[in-house]
Amino acid sequence: MDVSRTLAQFPDLKDRAVLITGGGSGIGAALVEGFAQQGAKVAFIDIAEMESSALAERLSAQAAHPVLFQKADLRDIDAVRSAVNVVAERLGPIRVLVNNAGRDDRHEFDEVTPEYWDDNHATNLRHVFFVSQAVVPSMKAAGGGAIINMSSIAFLLNMPELPAYATAKAAIIGLTRSMAGLLGPDNIRVNCILPGMIATERQMKLWLTEEGIARMVDRQCLKQVLTPESLVGPCLFLASGAAAGMTAQSIIVDGGIF
């Protein structure tokens, strides 16, 4: 889908340095493309080298600014800090951060070990704090910024098969509100998006069946399958000056289940 055909342009995003985590595929890749089409200077962190390099190369050929891919495992906080430093050096002060990366791995309640729990939270929660911590000095120096965190409706659905993930996604809302309170005086807005069922490649490969999709669409007000592009407009809006009065909010993009 060519998002530029359906999306508004937000003039203040042009030439703005934007960092997206987990930008190599799925929702993150759609966000990388969406911000690049706004003329923003986009960088993304991902662990998956091949698809991320291919995305950066494809978009760099079309976009106003080259798209910068930094390979890092977000569970490794030193690697995260180095990647953020490189992005700020190359693109200038980071004004928009989208903490998008996550993995909705399933896990049996009885089989979760302390090590599994910690690794799951390192994948889904801890980096949201530490990437933000690394980016905030850049935003403060530039006079403000916008952070958008990716939660999920999974924890609202009482899904039994991913308690660690559900806990992390619920915690992201608390973290969003705390950071909004902390950073508001520095003109840094912090908001959160809760996607519903989004038909990414990973979801289609691992979890989504025809019957499962039909059941969710039946619960939605909008009788269509949401795609990664469905998140681009809400995210651009929250990143832009159009949302200048909004912080500490959680927006659900689920076709109307909740």
Ligand X SMILES: NC(=O)c1ccc[n+]([C@@H]2O[C@H](COP(=O)([O-])OP(=O)(O)OC[C@H]3O[C@@H](n4cnc5c(N)ncnc54)[C@H](O)[C@@H]3O)[C@@H](O)[C@H]2O)c1
Contact present, 99 and 128 (Cβ < 8 Å)? yes
Name which of residues 159 to 188 contact ligand X (CB under 6 A). Answer: none
CB of 253 to ligand X, least distance (A): 9
Residue placing its CB nearer to ligand X in the complex, 81 or 140: 81
Rounded to whole angstroms, the Cα distance separating 122 from 80 reads: 12
For residue 248, the SS3 value is coil
Quick one: which segment of 55-63, 90-98, 101-109, 178-186 binds ligand X (CB under 6 A)?
Answer: 101-109
Residue placing its CB nearer to ligand X in the complex, 28 or 255: 28
Rounded to whole angstroms, the Cα distance separating 32 from 19 reads: 9
Name which of residues 115 to 154 contact ligand X (CB under 6 A). Answer: 123, 150, 152
Q: Of residues 10, 44, 69, 165, which has the active-site annotation?
A: 165
Residue placing its CB nearer to ligand X in the complex, 12 or 51: 51
Residue placing its CB nearer to ligand X in the complex, 146 or 231: 231
| 116: annotated active-site residue | no
Site string for ligand X, 202-221 (x = CB under 6 A): xx------------------
CB environment 94-116: b (16+ within 10 A), e (fewer): bbbbbbbbbebeebeeeeeeeee
Query: Considering only residues 17, 28, 216, 252, which one is a binding residue for ligand X as defined by CB under 6 A?
Result: 28
Q: Is position 102 an interface residue for ligand X (rule: CB under 6 A)?
A: yes
Contact present, 172 and 158 (Cβ < 8 Å)? no
Q: 């399933």: which residue's tokens?
A: 106
Contact present, 99 and 148 (Cβ < 8 Å)? yes
Q: Is position 38 an interface residue for ligand X (rule: CB under 6 A)?
A: no
Contact present, 253 and 194 (Cβ < 8 Å)? yes
Q: Is position 81 an interface residue for ligand X (rule: CB under 6 A)?
A: no
Q: Is position 229 an interface residue for ligand X (rule: CB under 6 A)?
A: no
Torsion sign over Cα 216, 101, 70, 246: positive
Q: Is position 48 an interface residue for ligand X (rule: CB under 6 A)?
A: yes
Contact present, 246 and 189 (Cβ < 8 Å)? yes
Residues in the site for ligand X, rule: CB under 6 A? 22, 24-28, 46-48, 73-75, 100-104, 123, 150, 152, 195, 197-198, 200, 202-203
